[in-house]
């Protein structure tokens, strides 16, 4: 007696396999850590300048201005 797989069962098995594979690929994502810039001085008013300085002088992935207290500071983002 041969066992037949109906299209419905095949679809369910295929979806389960896809979900398992998708979860395996997500585990490799790198985390990003934020740190106040060590080379920036003064108020941070231009995110593009902050980003350039973080990348050029601190080997960061990117940078951005964020409010801190009553002003804005430059924060660099690194791979953890």
Say which CATH architecture domain 31-80 belongs to. 2-Layer Sandwich (3.30)
* C-alpha–C-alpha distance, residues 42 and 61, integer Å: 22
Dihedral of alpha carbons 36, 41, 44, 46, sign: negative
Tell me the per-residue pLDDT of 15-39, one tens digit each, with 9 for 90 and over: 565 666 665 555 556 799 999 999 9
Tell me the per-residue pLDDT of 42-53, one tens digit each, with 9 for 90 and over: 999 999 999 999
Domain boundaries, the chain: 31-80
Look up residue 58 and give its DSSP letter.
Answer: S
């Amino acid at each position: 007696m041969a066992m037949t797989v109906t299209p419905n069962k095949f679809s369910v098995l295929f979806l389960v396999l896809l979900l398992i594979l998708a979860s395996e690929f997500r585990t490799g994502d790198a985390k990003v850590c934020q740190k106040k810039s060590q080379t920036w001085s003064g108020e941070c008013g231009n995110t593009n300048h902050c980003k350039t300085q973080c990348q050029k002088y601190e080997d960061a992935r990117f940078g951005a201005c964020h409010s801190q207290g009553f002003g804005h500071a430059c924060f660099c983002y690194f791979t953890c």
